[in-house]
């Protein structure tokens, strides 16, 4: 094995074995978790408030429903959100769907 390759392997192994490397990995994961939790919280609040406004109104337009699913509920669900937002989503899904917003 060439000497330069042995040196690269040694340096790489030392870097991976260092506590600083693992501390960086753990910190990066916890920042991602916090960011994900924040996004889930914001999406949850918006799903509940917007969904309840549709439920109180008694109908939802086709465009509103499609945007509600595509931009709020589907990503929220993919990130692991559930519970009350899922219940509100089901209520919205049961609303009459109108083609155009009534005047």
Tell me the torsion sign for CA atoms 31, 32, 34, 35. positive
Range of the domain at 74: 28-98
What's the number of domains the chain is made of?
1
Instruction: Evaluate whether residue 69 is within a structural domain.
Output: yes
3-state secondary structure of 97: strand
According to DSSP, residue 96 is labeled P
- Let me know if residue 85 belongs to a domain: yes
* Domain assignment present for 84: yes
Tell me the pLDDT tens digit for each residue of 60-88: 999 999 999 999 999 998 888 878 899 99
CA distance 9 to 13: 6
Q: Residue 79: what pLDDT? A: 84
Residue 46 lies in a domain: yes
| Whole-number pLDDT of residue 94 | 96
Residue 3 lies in a domain: no
**10 CB-side CA count, 13 A:** 7
pLDDT tens digits, one per residue of 15-63:
666 666 656 556 555 555 778 888 889 999 999 999 999 999 999 999 9
Question: Would you say 89 and 46 are in contact if contact means Cβ atoms under 8 Å apart?
Answer: no
- What's the confidence (pLDDT) of residue 28? 58
**What is the mean predicted confidence (pLDDT) over 6-19?**
68
Helix then strand count (H, E) for the chain reads: 5, 2
């Amino acid at each position: 094995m060439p000497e330069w390759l042995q040196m690269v392997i040694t340096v790489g192994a030392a870097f991976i074995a260092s506590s600083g490397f693992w501390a960086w990995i753990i910190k990066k994961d916890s920042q991602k978790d916090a960011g994900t939790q924040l996004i889930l919280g914001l999406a949850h609040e918006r799903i509940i408030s917007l969904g309840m406004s549709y439920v109180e109104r008694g109908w939802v337009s086709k465009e509103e429903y499609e945007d509600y699913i595509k931009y709020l509920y589907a990503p929220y669900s993919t990130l692991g959100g559930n519970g009350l937002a899922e219940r509100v989503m089901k209520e919205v899904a049961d609303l009459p769907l109108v083609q155009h917003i009534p005047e």
